[in-house]
């Protein structure tokens, strides 16, 4: 998919001034200027956020927007983490996201395998039904899910949010993994069967290791879906101690509407894992988003 | 092997856990939503069957329904007129084999992976009339007169929210188009160059036609994404002021979970789903008729 040649280095504008005025490098300079301008537009809000997260209120109001903080208010981060309970929300998000990703990868790959490799009568119909899970917006499930989770007595536990998250992400996983499976040669599994492996053993020892790149893409995609999700969280999380980060942030912003420092610190904390993922997995991330787009 | 792959027990083991979850927590609720939409119910008292009354109410007696629908289409419109063309231009730019293009691509894409909630909170600070970045910027370049209440004014609230959606996801559409552009083989451009097609001509006659499948997918994504929009509106304005920026998803949430009108909330949910499915079907029909075969 990617035949990208460009390196990872930041921009180097043409250095020799003699070349600056030839039409070609003028065009190039213009191009870089434009691209940098758009780049700034995408980055400035985040830079601003980070600066504010280290300032106190007086400084936010008086000094210019991009001045460095006079004294770096580390206290904002402490306030966010402790008083703002961002630490608890962070832990909740980690728990909910991890469980969801693991279960979806396991169930999704098993289902994808059954649908692409195993033989049974209704596999075509079943694929279409599961496709509906990708096509129909989750909005269509909220009210009955709420009453169902309430009647099952789950609204006071993490399951209230984990079960719906697993469910809405399984179809996406199935479709990405199925298309990957279809491209995998069957010879290795056949060899395993000849060696006397059963389907289950062949799946766990031969197929799953081969699926690893696809599992990584799907895993990252679902991680982001769940980590950032608000609509279901705001509907199904009824106890403040169970809040995930997006919901916690919303609540925090209501309480700290006047004091921006701790709120911005909280917002930045919630973004740090995403930045880390981006720095380490940008390649898989791009793959998972382009793969995920085909079905969404 | 044939035998192994049609083993009923294994099949059940592989399919049933996921399928059970999917049926209980997705298929069943979707059907129940349609069922609820025919009832009057506060979630506690016994349900009362009222036929299509909720639908009649939605189309004739809900003063917020048409504004919400219309606002949804404003999201769609801006997404189609600004976001996708901008994404295409960016995709073309980062596809050029120049130094740093991967770096630019990463920067443009970065807002996509941030949480919409966080981005919306961040922009509500940027739009803050007193100390927000936007008004501060306008004042600093002497455009004091252009400062606004932004989210607090019925005239600007909707477009301010729309801008955030366009801003955050332009990189997403750029990436999709970029992947499409990358899959066009270089030799086609070279052949065209020999025939004198360069610059805009090669975009018009090679890139766009060969990208038409990707574009179709992307248009559907952008349109459905705009119609489903919830977080941005809910976080930044809650639909206000005076319902000026409300959308169907927010109305549904308010009816169902704030006013406890589970019946009418479900009706709005049904409308939203039908609208999304219908419009993606129409786009697919329209755009496949126009597909250029090469």
pLDDT, chain A, mean: 85
pLDDT at A291: 74
Which portions of chain B are predicted below pLDDT 70?
Answer: 1-3, 289-294
Cα–Cα dist B105/B87, whole Å: 11
Cα–Cα dist A101/A69, whole Å: 39
Higher-pLDDT residue of B218 and A6 is B218
Q: Nearest residue of B to residue A281 by CA position?
A: B106
Q: State whether A263 and B270 contact (CB < 8 Å).
A: no
Contacts of B25 in chain A (CB under 8 A): 141, 145, 148, 163-164, 166-167
B204 secondary structure, DSSP code: I
pLDDT at B229: 94
pLDDT at A294: 60
pLDDT at A6: 41
Q: State whether B269 and A140 contact (CB < 8 Å).
A: yes
Output the CA–CA distances (angstroms, integers) from residue A110 to A197, A223, B12, B282, in the order listed: 17, 19, 10, 34
pTM, full prediction: 0.89
The stretch A265-276 carries a mean pLDDT of 92
Q: State whether B179 and A190 contact (CB < 8 Å).
A: no
Cα–Cα dist B168/B151, whole Å: 17
Six-digit token string for A230: 């608000």
Cα–Cα dist A53/A264, whole Å: 5
Q: Where does the pLDDT of residue A77 fall: very low under 50, low under 70, confident under 90, or very high at 90 and above? A: very high
Cα–Cα dist A78/A73, whole Å: 9
Higher-pLDDT residue of B240 and A250 is A250
Output the CA–CA distances (angstroms, integers) from residue A164 to B25, B29, B228, B229, in the order listed: 6, 11, 18, 19
Q: Are strands B48-49 and B39-40 parallel, antiparallel or unpaired?
A: antiparallel
Q: Nearest residue of B to residue A231 by CA position?
A: B231
The runs of H, that is alpha helices, within chain B are: 2-5, 8-22, 28-36, 53-60, 65-78, 84-95, 101-113, 116-126, 133-140, 157-182, 186-194, 199-202, 208-210, 212-227, 231-236, 248-253, 262-289
The stretch A12-17 carries a mean pLDDT of 46
Tell me whether B274 touches chain A (CB under 8 Å): no
Tell me phi and psi for residue A96, to 5 degrees: -60, -45
pLDDT at A59: 79
Q: Least CB-CB distance to A143: which of B108, B262, B277?
A: B262
The SS3 assignment for B49 reads strand
Shortest alpha-carbon distance between residue B147 and chain A (Å): 16
Q: Where does the pLDDT of residue A149 fall: very low under 50, low under 70, confident under 90, or very high at 90 and above? A: very high
Chains A–B, number of C-beta pairs less than 8 Å apart: 286
- Give residue limits of the domains in chain B: 37-181+218-289
Q: Where does the pLDDT of residue A170 fall: very low under 50, low under 70, confident under 90, or very high at 90 and above? A: very high
B48 secondary structure, DSSP code: E
Q: How many CA atoms lie within 13 A of B91 on its CB side?
A: 27
pLDDT at A117: 86
Q: State whether A148 and B122 contact (CB < 8 Å).
A: no
ipTM of the complex: 0.90
Cα–Cα dist B268/A273, whole Å: 36
CB B47, CB B35: distance < 8 Å: no
Six-digit token string for B2: 């044939």
Domains for chain A: give ranges and CATH numbers: 17-78 (no CATH), 83-293 (1.10.3720.10)
Higher-pLDDT residue of B290 and A131 is A131
Tell me whether B100 touches chain A (CB under 8 Å): yes
Residues paired with residue B40 on neighbouring β-strands, in sequence order: B48
Output the CA–CA distances (angstroms, integers) from residue A152 to A146, A148, A167, B198, in the order listed: 10, 6, 16, 64
CATH number of B37-181+218-289: 1.10.3720.10
Residues paired with residue B48 on neighbouring β-strands, in sequence order: B40
Tell me phi and psi for residue A87, to 5 degrees: -55, -45
Chain B from 157 to 196: CB within 8 A of any A CB: 167, 171-172, 175-176, 179, 182-183
pLDDT at A289: 81
Choice among A15-24, A253-262, B3-12 with the minimum mean pLDDT: A15-24
Q: pLDDT tens digit string along A43-71?
A: 999 999 999 899 887 777 776 777 788 87
The SS3 assignment for B282 reads helix
**DSSP of chain A, one letter per residue?**
-------S--------HHHHTSHHHHHHHHHHHHHHHHHHHHHHHHHHHHHHHTS-HHHHHHS-TTPPPSS--THHHHHHHTTT-HHHHHHHHHHHHHHHHHHHHHHHHHHHHHHHHS--TTHHHHHHHHHHHHHS-GGGGHHHHHHHHHHTT-TTSTHHHHHHHHHHHHHHHHHHHHHHHHTS-SHHHHHHHHTT--HHHHIIIIIHHHTHHHHHHHHHHHHHHHHT--HHHHHH--SGGG--HHHHHHHHHHHTSS-HHHHHHHHHHHHHHHHHHHHHHHHHHHHHHHHHHTT-
pLDDT at A10: 46
Q: Where does the pLDDT of residue A249 fall: very low under 50, low under 70, confident under 90, or very high at 90 and above? A: very high
pLDDT at A75: 87
pLDDT at B289: 63
Contacts of A143 in chain B (CB under 8 A): 29, 32-33, 36, 256, 262, 265-266, 269
C-alpha dihedral over B154, B156, B157, B163, to 10 degrees?
160
Tell me whether B252 touches chain A (CB under 8 Å): yes
Q: Nearest residue of A to residue B36 by CA position?
A: A144
Tell me: pLDDT of A189 over 80. yes
* Inter-helix orientation angle A212-227/A260-293, to 10°: 140
Cα–Cα dist A110/A177, whole Å: 10
The stretch A66-89 carries a mean pLDDT of 86
Higher-pLDDT residue of A270 and A196 is A270
Q: State whether A111 and B126 contact (CB < 8 Å).
A: no
Q: State whether B4 and A199 contact (CB < 8 Å).
A: yes
pLDDT at B91: 93
């Amino acid at each position: 998919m990617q035949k990208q040649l460009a390196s990872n280095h930041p921009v180097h504008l043409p250095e020799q001034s003699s070349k600056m005025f030839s039409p070609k490098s003028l065009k190039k300079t213009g191009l870089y200027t434009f691209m940098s301008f758009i780049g700034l537009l995408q980055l400035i809000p985040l830079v601003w956020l980070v600066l504010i997260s280290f300032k106190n209120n007086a400084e936010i109001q008086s000094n210019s927007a991009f001045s460095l903080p006079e004294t770096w208010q580390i206290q904002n981060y402490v306030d966010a983490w402790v008083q703002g309970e961002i630490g608890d929300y962070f832990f909740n998000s980690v728990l909910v996201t991890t469980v969801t990703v693991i279960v979806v990868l396991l169930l999704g790959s098993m289902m994808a395998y059954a649908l692409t490799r195993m033989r049974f009568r209704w596999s075509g119909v079943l694929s279409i039904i599961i496709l509906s899970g990708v096509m129909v917006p989750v909005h269509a499930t909220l009210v009955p899910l709420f009453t169902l989770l309430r009647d099952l007595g789950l609204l006071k536990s993490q399951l209230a949010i984990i079960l719906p998250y697993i469910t809405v992400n399984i179809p996406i996983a199935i479709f990405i993994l199925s298309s990957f499976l279809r491209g995998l040669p069957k010879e290795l599994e056949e060899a395993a069967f000849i060696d006397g492996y059963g389907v289950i053993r062949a799946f766990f020892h031969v197929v799953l290791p081969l699926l690893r790149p696809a599992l990584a893409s799907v895993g990252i995609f679902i991680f982001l879906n769940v980590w950032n999700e608000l609509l279901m969280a705001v509907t199904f999380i009824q106890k403040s101690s169970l809040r995930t980060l997006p919901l916690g942030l919303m609540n925090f912003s209501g309480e700290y509407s006047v004091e921006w420092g701790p709120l911005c610190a909280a917002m930045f904390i919630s973004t740090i894992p995403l930045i880390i993922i981006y720095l380490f997995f940008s390649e898989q991330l791009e793959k998972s988003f382009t793969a995920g787009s085909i079905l969404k | 092997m044939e035998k192994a792959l049609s083993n009923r027990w294994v099949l059940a083991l592989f399919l049933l856990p996921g399928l059970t979850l999917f049926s209980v927590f997705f298929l069943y609720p979707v059907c129940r939503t349609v069922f609820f939409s025919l009832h009057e119910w506060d979630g506690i008292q016994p349900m009362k069957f009222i036929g299509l009354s909720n639908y009649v109410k939605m189309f004739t007696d809900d003063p917020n329904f048409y504004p919400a629908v219309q606002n949804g289409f404003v999201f769609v419109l801006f997404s189609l007129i600004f976001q996708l063309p901008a994404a295409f231009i960016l995709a073309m730019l980062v596809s050029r084999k120049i130094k740093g293009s991967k770096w630019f691509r990463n920067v443009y894409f970065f807002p996509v992976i941030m949480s919409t909630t966080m981005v919306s909170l961040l922009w509500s600070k940027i739009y803050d009339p007193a100390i927000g970045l936007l008004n501060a910027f306008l004042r600093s370049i002497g455009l004091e007169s252009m400062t606004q209440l932004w989210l607090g004014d019925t005239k600007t609230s909707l477009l301010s929210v729309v801008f955030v959606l366009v801003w955050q996801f332009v990189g997403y559409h750029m990436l999709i188009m970029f992947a499409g552009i990358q899959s066009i083989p270089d030799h086609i451009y070279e052949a065209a160059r020999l025939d004198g097609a360069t610059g805009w001509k090669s975009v018009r006659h090679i890139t766009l036609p060969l990208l038409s499948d990707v574009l179709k997918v992307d248009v559907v994504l952008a349109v459905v994404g705009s119609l489903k929009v919830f977080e941005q509106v809910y976080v930044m304005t809650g639909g206000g002021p005076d319902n000026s920026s409300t959308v169907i998803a927010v109305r549904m949430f308010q009816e169902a979970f704030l006013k406890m009108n589970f019946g009418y909330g479900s009706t709005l949910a049904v409308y939203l789903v039908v609208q999304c499915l219908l419009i993606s079907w129409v786009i697919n029909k329209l755009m496949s008729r126009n597909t250029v075969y090469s």
